[in-house]
Amino acid sequence: MMKLLLWPLGTGSTPHARGLDGRLALRSGIKEALIGEVLHRLGVPTSRALYIASTQEAIEREQEPVAGGVMTRVGSTILRVGTMQCLEREGDYATIRRLIRHLLWEESNYSIYSNK
């Protein structure tokens, strides 16, 4: 049975916001949703946008205000490239190794201790 996780984006600063404000630029959310659909259609396991909407607030990006939004993503994991980038920036290579082992084992049912 496949597990599905839901998580919101654009709702404010969180420990996962990589030091940013945690707000979602609507145009970036739309791009991410479209790319997720393309990857899904190509057979690449990825998260997908379940919901995206405008918050009707302006947020500061690239020295000018842009439309803000919120998005809910659905997928089998919440681990993303940004997770590894945060850990790399902090020099936490032991946790990166543990996450990679987790991904190999949990996400693909691949054992690093076998010849699968």
Q: Into how many domains does the chain fold?
A: 2
Half-sphere exposure of 93 (CA within 13 A, CB side): 1
pTM of the entire predicted model: 0.62
> Do 69 and 101 fall into the same domain?
no
Question: Is there a single domain that holds both residue 12 and residue 58?
Answer: yes
Express each pLDDT in 12-60 by its tens digit: 665 555 556 668 889 988 998 998 899 889 887 788 888 899 999 998 8
R_g (Cα) of the chain, nearest Å? 16
104: containing domain: 79-116
Regarding whether 49 and 33 lie in a shared domain, the answer is yes
pLDDT at 6: 58
- Whether residues 43 and 27 share a domain: the answer is yes
pLDDT exceeds cutoff 60 at 76? yes
Q: For residues 30 and 68, state if they share a domain.
A: yes
Could you tell me if 17 and 56 lie in one domain?
yes
Q: Do 68 and 114 belong to one domain?
A: no
